Amino acid sequence: MSEVLLSTEGAVATLTLNRPDRLNAISPGMLDALARRLVELDADPAVRVIVLTGAGRAFCAGLDLQDASAGTGIGGDTGFPPTLDLRNAPPTVLHGLDTPTVCALNGAAAGYGMDLALGCDIRIASDRAKLAAAFTRRGVVPESGGTWLLPRLVGWTKAAEIIFTGRTLDAGQCVELGLVNRVVPAELLGKETRALANEIAANAPLAVQASKRMMRMAEGEAFDEHVHHVYLQLIPLFRSRYFVEGMKSFLEKRAPEFEGR
């Protein structure tokens, strides 16, 4: 079976990491499939939200230590590519998507899995979920965006404590630190995630994507420069049929219907 499953419901596409017997630990095939699917979905006008989750009781256990210790897979003698090109690696691809991403954190996310979860725009966690920054305990660094993402999410000092100690955070600690948007009972995770994804998908897709793009650009821009770029994004939105529908629905006191692309 595929190591990354795809399902769609309306304008919401769900990608499921599918190695439940290995707690969805990463493999080269999984990385390739995930990156490819993300690119395809981002280019699909019918998809307005991407949900990322895991099969079974874990989200992603990170590096597959069994494969690595056996000399296969990532971290083994044959697990590294001959050249370093991360342009098509899942964390890089995930960061560059215009389509909103929601992580349904169904269980433990360790190492790479933690970075992957933090790379999503929004995270809803099961009460059984955990984030394990186990990198320094395994002799590595947060190689998949964690050193960039975590300080921006919780601040330098808290990120330093989490990364330097290799600490595991339970669901309650994650929501307290702001690493997840909210925690829900495990049996309600799918329902709550779909409700949020559908709420996002009901809005004007070009406006949502432009908002995400501007938020991402703002991380490296001065204020004056940023508001200039926002204005340039606003001009084509004013000319879109979504803007017309948004204004019309407001005046008619009804919910907008943003059909098509």
Residue 37, pLDDT above cutoff 60: yes
Burial class of residue 131 in the structure, from the number of CB atoms within 10 Å of its CB (0-12 exposed, 13-18 middle, 19+ buried): buried
| Strands 168-170 vs 130-132: parallel, antiparallel or unpaired | antiparallel
* pLDDT (0 to 100) of residue 140: 84
Task: For residue range 144-179, list pLDDT tens digits in order.
Answer: 889 999 999 999 999 999 999 999 999 999 999 999
Burial class of residue 156 in the structure, from the number of CB atoms within 10 Å of its CB (0-12 exposed, 13-18 middle, 19+ buried): exposed
* pLDDT (0 to 100) of residue 80: 55
CB 110 within 8 A of CB 62: yes
Residue 84, pLDDT above cutoff 90: no
- Percentage above 70 pLDDT, the chain: 92
* pLDDT (0 to 100) of residue 12: 98
Query: At residue 258, what is the residue type?
Result: F
DSSP 181: S
* pLDDT (0 to 100) of residue 60: 97
Which CATH fold would you assign to the domain 4-201?
Answer: 2-enoyl-CoA Hydratase; Chain A, domain 1 (3.90.226)
> How much is the pTM?
0.91
Task: For residue range 47-68, list pLDDT tens digits in order.
Answer: 999 999 999 999 999 977 666 5
H-run or E-run covering 39: helix 28-42
Task: For residue range 220-240, list pLDDT tens digits in order.
Answer: 999 999 999 999 999 999 999
**Spatial distance between the Cα atoms of 154 and 158, rounded to a whole number of angstroms:** 6
More confident residue, 136 or 85: 136
Residue 75, pLDDT above cutoff 60: no
Question: Helix H segments across 79-134?
Answer: 90-96, 112-118
* pLDDT (0 to 100) of residue 74: 60
CB 52 within 8 A of CB 5: no
Residue 73: which pLDDT band, with cuts at 50, 70 and 90? low
Instruction: Please compute the mean of the pLDDT values over residues 112-133 and round it to a whole number.
Output: 96
